[in-house]
């Protein structure tokens, strides 16, 4: 499948403009993401239609806590990623290519939409597991058909995408779950082989649209646990995206190239309290207890949504308002 968002340079050289790496590719070369390749001056999307995971997941797993809480969503992913995070939890699929990964199955966009529509109670389709923007053409083709079928589209992304493809994607995506991995360029460069500034731009663009947005920050001991930097991140979110922005602070476990100890729960709780100084809705992920899982009204403290494991209960909401004081809550729920 021919890819989009590229230009021809000298001879058969081409430049991919899908993400801020803007890879210049000679004939036969693949991009940093390993799944877009120059073949005779044409950019190919090598992972088009190649699926490595397809599961019905709770939406809380994405994680999205304020978008149809308690519902399931058909989740789909492939191989490849434009970042090389040393702490990637899905590195077996993100840091490989189509040729080296033998477990890919072929699907058409229509077959995935049909499957999603046939699942009773399914909310739609989530593009996740690896970085979905390096699957741009396939994701977009599915998403267009999903809209026609009345399904919701959700993207779980690192946000490292150029402005034009993002702007084209936004109208067909209902909710975004975006990783903000740290708040320094040094972290992004050394631990992800990318950069922070384009991610911040993507977040501002999504926030300026009417689409649902939640964010995740993986807290890694000795790497992004500097309190000063974290406060700067919280100030930026508060100012640029608003205090109602939903933030998930997630616990790190040693994986792939990063062998640090897991994040102490005491550190997570400390950063949770700091984040709450700036934001109304902060949650803890990958923790053993249920602390930091429930949603409370920021005005009166009433319990709105309780979560235990993946069991979710709408405890104190009336539509999208606090049942006790009537405060409007930024949550999308099935209306009665």
Q: Give the footprint of ligand SF4 on this chain (CB under 6 A).
A: 16, 18-19, 21-23, 31-33, 36, 82, 134
Q: How buried is residue 66: exposed, middle or buried, by Cβ count under 10 Å (0-12/13-18/19+)?
A: buried
Nearer to ligand SF4, 52 or 275 (CB): 52
Distances in whole angstroms, Cα of residue 36 to Cα of each of 6, 44, 126: 10, 5, 22
Nearer to ligand SF4, 160 or 271 (CB): 160
- State how far the Cα of 77 lies from the Cα of 142, in Å rounded to an integer: 12
User: For residues 154-165, b (16+ Cβ closer than 10 Å) or e, as one string?
Assistant: bbbbbbbbbeeb
H helix intervals, the chain: 91-94, 109-118, 136-148, 163-169, 185-187, 197-208, 227-236, 265-278
Cβ 171 to ligand SF4, closest distance in Å? 21
Cβ 202 to ligand SF4, closest distance in Å? 13
Nearer to ligand SF4, 90 or 286 (CB): 90
Cβ 176 to ligand SF4, closest distance in Å? 18
Nearer to ligand SF4, 84 or 145 (CB): 84
Nearer to ligand SF4, 34 or 66 (CB): 34
Which residue of the chain is nearest ligand SF4 when measured via CB? 31
Cβ 31 to ligand SF4, closest distance in Å? 2
Cβ 323 to ligand SF4, closest distance in Å? 46
Cβ 18 to ligand SF4, closest distance in Å? 4
Nearer to ligand SF4, 13 or 327 (CB): 13
Nearer to ligand SF4, 5 or 68 (CB): 5
- State how far the Cα of 286 lies from the Cα of 60, in Å rounded to an integer: 12
Residue 50 three-state SS: strand
Cβ 159 to ligand SF4, closest distance in Å? 13
- State how far the Cα of 52 lies from the Cα of 117, in Å rounded to an integer: 20
């Amino acid at each position: 499948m021919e890819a989009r968002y590229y230009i021809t340079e000298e001879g058969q050289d081409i430049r991919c403009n899908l993400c801020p790496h803007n890879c210049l590719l000679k004939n036969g070369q693949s991009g940093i993401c390993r799944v877009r390749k120059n073949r005779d001056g044409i950019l190919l999307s090598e992972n088009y239609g190649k699926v490595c995971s397809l599961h019905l997941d709770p939406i809380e797993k994405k994680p999205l806590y304020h978008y149809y809480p308690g519902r399931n969503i058909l989740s789909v992913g492939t191989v490849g990623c434009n970042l090389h995070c040393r702490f990637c939890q899905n590195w077996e699929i993100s840091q490989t290519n189509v040729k080296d990964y033998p477990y890919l199955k072929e699907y058409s966009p229509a077959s995935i939409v049909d499957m999603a529509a046939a699942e009773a109670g399914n909310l739609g389709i989530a593009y996740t597991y690896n970085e979905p923007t390096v699957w741009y053409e396939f994701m977009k083709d599915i998403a267009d058909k999903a809209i026609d079928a009345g399904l919701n589209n959700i993207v779980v992304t690192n946000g490292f995408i150029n402005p034009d493809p993002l702007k084209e994607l936004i109208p067909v995506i209902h909710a975004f779950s975006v990783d903000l991995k740290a708040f320094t360029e040094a972290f992004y460069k050394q631990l992800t082989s990318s950069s922070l500034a384009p991610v911040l731009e993507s977040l501002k663009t999504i926030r300026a649209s009417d689409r649902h947005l939640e964010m995740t920050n993986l807290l890694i001991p000795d790497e992004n646990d500097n309190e000063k930097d974290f406060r700067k991140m919280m100030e930026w979110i508060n100012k640029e995206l608003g205090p109602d922005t939903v933030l998930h602070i997630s616990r790190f476990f040693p994986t792939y190239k990063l062998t640090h100890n897991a994040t102490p729960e005491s550190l997570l709780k400390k950063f949770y309290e700091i984040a709450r100084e700036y934001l109304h809705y902060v949650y803890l992920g990958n923790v053993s207890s249920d602390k930091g899982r429930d949603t409370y009204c920021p005005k009166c403290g009433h319990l709105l949504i309780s979560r235990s494991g993946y069991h979710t209960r709408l405890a104190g909401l009336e539509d999208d308002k606090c049942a006790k004081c009537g405060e409007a809550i930024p949550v999308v729920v099935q209306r009665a």
